[in-house]
């Protein structure tokens, strides 16, 4: 049995910090009558304010997330009435537009952005190193040399070759009983 670490694992700690920060920002919006507004909506909303309507793929690239993540966020924003989707020139392409509701809420949202920026500056002043600076350094370091490579270099033996999984079970041969495994 392995011992429980005294300190949280890095991934757990990063998720916890993000949950705390996002939770507080979500509470700020809820207290101002926007319980359906999520902090993850802010980056795409800011891009749409600056650049106007965009295909989801372009929005993802501008925000710095995967197409899948952007698509999920846009779907949530559409359910919240913040964006509308129209078909692009290519039938597979969807164009994201700010809704009238989003435009009406922009003064409040922009005030929150400014207040949050000031609050983060204040938080950074309490830290030995500014949080965003450290996170940018981490991203640059793992882009230069991925964590996967660092783990291998730390001495973890290579993974065994993966056997191809059988996607369809074989039918039992005539006269043999099917293998039902251990059912207990």
Looking at the domain 10-153, which fold is it? Arc Repressor Mutant, subunit A (1.10.10)
Average pLDDT over residues 130-142: 94
pLDDT of residue 90: 84
How far lies 184's CA from each of 38, 88, 177, in Å? 46, 55, 18
Distances (CA, A) of 158 to 19, 115, 143, 150: 34, 49, 21, 12
* 29 vs 101: CA distance, rounded Å: 15
Question: Can you tell me which residue has the tokens 């106007």?
Answer: 52
Looking at residue 85, its pLDDT comes to: 96
Overall average pLDDT of the 69-90 stretch: 95
Domain ranges of the chain: 10-153
Phi-psi region of 140 (alpha: psi -120 to 50; beta: other; left: phi over 0): alpha
Q: What is the mean pLDDT of the chain?
A: 88
* pTM score, whole prediction: 0.74
């Amino acid at each position: 049995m392995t011992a429980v670490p005294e300190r949280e694992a890095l991934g757990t700690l990063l998720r916890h910090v993000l949950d705390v920060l996002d939770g507080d920002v979500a509470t700020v919006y809820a207290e101002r009558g926007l319980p359906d507004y999520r902090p993850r909506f802010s980056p795409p909303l800011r891009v749409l304010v600056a650049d106007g309507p965009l295909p989801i793929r372009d929005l993802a690239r501008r925000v710095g997330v995967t197409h899948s993540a952007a698509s999920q966020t846009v779907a949530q924003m559409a359910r919240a009435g913040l964006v509308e989707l129209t078909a692009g020139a290519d039938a597979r392409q969807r164009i994201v537009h700010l809704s009238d509701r989003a435009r009406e809420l922009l003064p409040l949202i922009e005030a929150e952005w400014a207040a949050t920026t000031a609050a983060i500056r204040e938080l950074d002043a309490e830290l030995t190193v500014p949080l965003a600076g450290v996170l940018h350094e981490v991203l640059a370091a793992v882009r230069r040399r991925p964590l996967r490579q660092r783990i291998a270099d730390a001495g973890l033996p290579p993974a065994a070759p993966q056997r191809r999984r059988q996607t369809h079970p074989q039918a039992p041969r005539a006269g043999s009983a099917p293998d039902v495994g251990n059912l207990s």
